[in-house]
Structure 1
Amino acid sequence: MVEGISARESGGGLTAATAALARHLRRDSWRTDLGDALGRFGRVLGVHRIVLFRFQETDDHVFIQSIEAIWSNPDVPGAEAKPTEIPQGVVATDPYLQHLSTQSRHGIPFVAMVRDVPGYLGEDLRRQSVKSVLGFPIFANGHLWGSLGLNDCLHERDWTADELGSVELIANIIGEAAERSSSDAHVSEVIRTALIQASLDAVIVIDETGSIIEFNPAAEKMFGFSKQQVLGKDLLHTVVPPFYRKGYATGGEYMSGRGAPMLGRRMETVTSNSDGEIFPIELTASEVRVADRRLMLGSIRDLRPQRAAEDEITRHRERLHQNEKMAAMGSLLAGVSHELNNPLAVVVAQSTLLHEFAGDPQTKLRAEKVRAAAERCGRIVKSFLGMVRLRPPEQSDTDLNTVVRAALEVTAYGARSSGISIDTDLAGERLLVKGDADHLTQVVANFLVNSQHALAGRSGERRIKVRTFRKDSVCGFAVEDSGPGVADAIKDRIFESYFTTKPVGVGTGIGLSISRSIVERHHGTVRLEDAEPHGARFVVELPALAQTAQGAQTPEAPRRELRHALIIDDEPDVASSLADILELMGVKARATATWTSAEDMLREPTDLIFSDLRMPCADGASIFRAVVEKRPDLASRFVLVTGDLLGARAEIDRLPHGMRPLVLEKPFSTLDVRSVLAQAGD
């Protein structure tokens, strides 16, 4: 319509415009495009500006005024000016504004020519070129919610009854819409508050300046601050680590700069708590707009439990990998020991026979040296196999001197090749303890290897001292080196699993931990001491057993009924060497490389059977079962010959307890064979 034509001249236009605006206000999304809807209504009324004011009452009954929506006619000079939001302090000192506030509370509309309006409000309206003003209070839920103000910037006008009625109707409908919205908003606010308070993740909300305005219970627990301590404080100097603060004056600048790339995605970073501890977190940052405010919401998850779980999984994975390597090494060494012990058995047996039958002392001496070297090779293979085989410990009478010698044989090459000298001081008596010789050998070997690593690359004297001792009811051993020693700061941690001071690829961090576990399973103790003038000393003490008679006992000679022996072995040299030793002891032996059946093999007189454990044709355990089924009396006179005693034990343990064969371990000497014959003839 033409500017200046009043609603009374527009006929039914006012009714239609009022109805259209009423339909808009009755929608759930009534705030959407509210300015345009007010504009269509204002053009019909012939006004030049419509402002929807929102009042919010504080706890001390002070109203805060803000603009909820506005429309102004761009064709009228001055109409586009934004109305002044009058401060509460001005209202408190201006009698006319106080009068208007009282009238609004009573539902009385404000109708005036601006020339008649005194005080601050009159000056302000005239500065905005307003000529006439009409304001209707809006109530929602029984309280003053706001007001709907209409301004005529060109004319001083008298408002007709239809115009006043239409504006009052619209004000009432806005009140109804506000009641609906406030109800929905209240429910939404309750839900949002409950979600924030119940969240297991820390939630922090800051405003544009970086001041903290929300700090939920999970944040209090994570950061060690109470909500009262941090509300209003700057984010930058509360939970942001010092090294991230550089270049930012406030938390608002920090979020605008560093924070902008974080918005809308998860990212891992670090934060600090009330104790200054820096720890990892997962942060999800979002921007939230509330009315005309721009807020930042951060959801924070503490990654320390996750990292600890990941570290534990890594440790278990490494431990499993280590066990798999040890099992694979055990399988490999089992095969190697079988293949190596066969020729060693021949060397030992033949050198023994050569020593027995040699006619001159020099030949006897050489034969003895060959036999001793071959037996040493066998002991080294046996020690390696015992250390890597995964099996339960076996408790038996064990001499610590023997244990130490076995460990020295295993580790001697590493010391010699590195130019490290080893001094031994072993007790003259047998140091008997109840334990597993293989596992205790592993403990000594671990200490020796650690000492070698400590001395590697050092100048000057490089020496390892190994000592065994007996003290009252305790037997023990000590391994000492002349290295740099162990720093005081880590002495309490060296027995922890996966703690190591060695370079990557040199140590796994489990050797000392396993050693302590083995010693404790043997009811003993292990400790670290400082060596003089420098170095480290590991001392192990174990409960001692009562001493037995010194010296090896000579087994009884074979009974006369053991006259005929059957040897089953796919290695002809091993079989013939064993047959020669048996012949030397008065036992006639026949050898075969293949097994057919018990009926065929036992047709000839047989008092004793020696069978290799591993053969292509049949394994020794199967042959044992077949023989016992045919001749039960041979159960105690059946001997399994093997270079893998640990593997043989597993197969023997599967047999009935009272029906288990004897075992002869390769490489064997005449004393070993004589001992087996003594057991078989018992």
Structure 2
Amino acid sequence: MLKSISADAAPPLRPAGFEDLMPLGPLEGVDESTWMDVIQKMDEVYTQLIHDEVELEKKNNELEQSQQFIFSVLTSMSDVLLVCNERGLIEETNAALCELVGRSDAQLRNTSIFELLADEPSAQRARLVLSKLDPSRRGEGLELNLRDVAQRAISVDANCTPRIAANGRRVGTVFVARPTAEIKRAYQELRVAHEALKRAQQQLLHSEKMASLGRLVAGVAHELNNPISFVLGNVHALARYLQRLRSYLDAVHQGASPEAQAALRVKLRIDHLLADLPSLIEGTLEGAQRTTDIVGSLKRFSAMDRDARAPVALHEVIEQSVHWISKGAAPDFELHWQPDPSCMVMGNAGQLQQVLMNLLQNALDAATAAGRSPVQVWIRTEKQQVDGQERLLLHLRDNGPGIAEAHLSRIFEPFFTTKPVGKGTGLGLSISYGLVEQHGGHLSVHNAAQGGAEFVLSLPLAAPGAAECGAE
């Protein structure tokens, strides 16, 4: 090889001693101009030779860098790499394979891949891959058992791809494998983490549901006290009426004279008693039914069934939400809303009630904290065609200060809250957002032009032919 010459070095016009090649005397038929042409051509050839040597040196350096890069990549791979020719003789390996089988790269080269396999089924699968005449260039996966340094069978999940030469002919196969124990361990860790996340999510959902349910407790006692007191008063009246009827019937059975019976009938006010009985019974039944409705409403709200879907009259859900909020710790507020029984959506009534109660409670909290008097809430519904589907849009707006622009993009993030410590968990809106998405809907928020924050709840209608939803 020629001696390396720097590309920056200026090559001489001709080699040293070149003048000695000049003839000592004139040659017959060759003049001086001919010799000058020869010298010039030799100078050009020498210059080109120097340039080619410099370029060759550059290519050698680039090739060495490429080889070092490829070697560093192979060394850094945690997966096992094995390259064999069409006969199954190993041509290339990496450090991971050498470490697994306890043999060096030099010891593995030109040995058969089948010497590394631990059992005959693995060998048969490898032969099948190597014998394919037209394998897929995307490769195929198979399980193999390799012998490790202790001669134990190690199961690996291998991906086998053909190695194609420049002429398009298959010249070998590339095996890239990873021990399945590592994959199974990673999968197991992922599964455990997923289960823990699911449990944590369920606990958060349950905690928020209980927090929402806790807001009802103050109103539940009063709500149940009215019908129960009414039933209790009616039962006491019926007990007194029973005593008077028993006295009158005893006189009749003992054969009292008609005059005595008539006097006793007037004294005991039997006619008034009989006229009052239907009203007492009807009132008792009404109070009992009211108690049943209250208990049923609480059961529906606290139900943990997250999959049940049925047609839901949204105006009833809104009425119940407003009712429970007003019976709880919420201040007096003015509600602007025109119920529309035609608005039917598919969903879970308890979950939708939780969403609406949370939105309503947040609206009241915001307006109250801002010192608004009176606190006002506007609710309106409308129907829209969105992407070929009829959807119900519910707008809920308050007369609070609105939401800071910096908080609008984070309002549905878990644990994000602008309330003082101890006044909120930051889960209500996040869970409400998730519940709405489970219903195939969408929940968004913006600051209304009239002032205050406005939440927009979009839900699919229960039936495509639902009547136009009215707005206030």
Structure number with higher helix proportion: 2
Task: Identify whether the pair has TM-score above 0.5, normalized to the shorter chain.
Answer: no
| Alignment TM-score, normalising by the size of structure 1 | 0.28
| Alignment TM-score, normalising by the size of structure 2 | 0.39
